Amino acid sequence: MSDSLKQLKEKIYDEGTIGQLLDELGCSDIKVNSGRSGDDLVTARLPGSSNPRGAQIYLSPNLHVELVGEGISGDVYGLVGFVLYGCRNFDEVRSKLYQIKTYICNVLGYEYSNNDFSKEQKPKQDWNWWLRDIQKQRPREYEVTKNEVLCKDVLNEFISGAWMGWLNEGISVAAQNDFGVGFHLPSERVTIQVHNAEGQLVGIKGRYVGNDKQQLEHKKYNYIYPCSKTIELFNLHRALPYIQESKKVYVFEGAKTTMKLWGWNIRNTVSIEGDRLHPVQAKILKGLGIDIEIVWAWDKGKDKEFVRNQIRQIKGRKMFYLYDNKERFEDKQSPVDCGYDIFMDLLTNDIYECDGLVSLVE
């Protein structure tokens, strides 16, 4: 194994980011246990699995991994290779090693290099240290692997059509059809297509709609065809002409928000598919152009310091953020969850320049 691969594993171990990696891969029930060997053991449920301890990772610099029930024994690269690409042996992992390593660097915010990681970097336990350090250093360039483009034939596995549950939440049938919503009968999931900026299909995300309480509680959302969500902006390929026309982009946490807004004829919207802006997504937003205003719209519950720590990755752009000062929303509700009129009230009366936020906190 090359020094850079070995040092990447040691970095994950030293900084305690294995849990974050498992979460990004779509694993659930992530727990730390005492292992029989004396090492602490991280266990997790693999995507689509019923075994809450299907993945077992030994907390040592080697990050040895056992995938129980799959007959796979290896390390963290084998784990990522299995979840993303179905790799089951060393040769298959080796054939995808470039994509696997770059994926890990992308989701954990590590600077990718063909060179070794600097041995002088001190381990940090804060998973988000790079968000606070990023402005103290010279601008970084991240080498970004692209999600593999799926053959459109995979869509034959799904039944097209709108889901009544989302219609009841205010997402119109027309919007669901435009976003390619469908159903995957074997897994009992309503599906959302994920595209890259060029409009190519790169993933299929599923929302469980069956009656299994464990699935509903622990794995409501799962990727039927996985992709790296942190190197895409969901809906960008549809929204781009509207962004260019309006000179403005609204950035939300979830895909459903963009679908609902699409039905309201507000179409210059994207989602980061989570609450934390990744450096690659920041780079994509900056690439939209210096004349594009960015409006941030996190779900309820994010304080101003959180917002500041995310947006500080982007400089030289006119930016605003929505902040609910009238208690319109309950915790974790998105800005569109209470309907069009309340969203427009928020957009009209509680929109603030980001320059003021940064100077206020600092």
Q: Are residues 241 and 208 in the same domain?
A: no
> pLDDT tens digits for the chain (362 residues)?
667 888 899 888 877 788 889 888 888 888 877 544 445 788 999 988 889 999 999 888 899 999 998 889 999 999 999 998 889 998 899 888 888 988 898 888 776 555 443 333 333 334 343 333 333 333 444 445 678 899 999 999 999 999 999 999 999 999 999 999 999 999 999 999 999 999 999 999 999 999 998 888 878 888 899 888 888 999 999 999 999 999 999 999 999 999 999 999 999 999 999 888 887 898 899 999 999 999 999 999 998 888 888 888 888 899 999 999 999 999 999 999 999 999 999 999 999 999 876 544 33
Q: 129 and 209 in one domain? A: no
Asked whether residue 12 falls in the same domain as residue 81, the answer is yes
Q: Answer yes or no: is 163 within a domain.
A: yes
pLDDT score recorded for residue 219? 80
Sequence-ordered list of residues with C-beta below 8 angstroms from that of 42, at least 6 positions apart, any chain: 18, 19, 22, 30, 31, 32, 33, 55, 56, 57, 59
Whether residues 251 and 352 fall in one domain: yes
Q: How far, rounded to the nearest angstrom, does the alpha carbon of residue 109 sit from its chain's CA centroid? A: 12
How far apart CA 323 and CA 88 sit, in angstroms, is 47
DSSP assignment of 296-328 equals EEPPTT--HHHHHHHHTT--SS-EEEE--SS--
pTM of the model: 0.68
Same domain, yes or no: 73 and 121: yes
> Does residue 140 fall inside a structural domain?
no
Pick the last residue of a domain from 227, 262, 280.
227
Residue 193 counted as domain residue: yes
Which among 82, 39, 83 has a CA at the least distance from the CA of 63? 39
Count of domains for the chain? 3
Q: Are 12 and 76 in contact (CB under 8 A)?
A: yes
CB 208 within 8 A of CB 215: yes
Give the pairing type, strands 72-75 and 159-160.
Answer: unpaired
Q: 3-state SS of 212-278?
A: CHHHHHHCCEEEEECCCHHHCCECHHHHHHHHHHHCEEEEECCHHHHHHHHHCCCCCEEECCCCCCC
Q: What is the DSSP letter of 62?
A: T
List the CATH number of the domain containing 292: 3.40.1360.10
Amino acid identity at 223 = Y
Indicate if 108 and 208 belong to the same structural domain.
no
**Whether 187 and 206 share a structural domain:** yes
Report the DSSP pairing between strands 293-297 and 319-322: parallel
Indicate if 40 and 128 belong to the same structural domain: yes
Q: Are residues 242 and 315 in the same domain?
A: yes
CB-based contacts of 41, cutoff 8 Å, min separation 6: 32, 33, 34, 35, 56, 57, 58, 59
Burial 285-303 (b: 16+ CB within 10 A, else e): bbebeeebbbbbbbbbebe
CB 313: neighbour CB atoms within 10 A?
Answer: 18
Q: Do residue 194 and residue 284 come from a single domain?
A: no
Among 99, 133, 167, give the residue marking a domain's end: 133
Q: Cα–Cα distances in Å, from 317 out to 231, 253, 313, 339?
A: 20, 20, 11, 29
Which domain does 197 fall in, by range? 152-227
- How many whole angstroms separate alpha carbon 151 and alpha carbon 146? 15
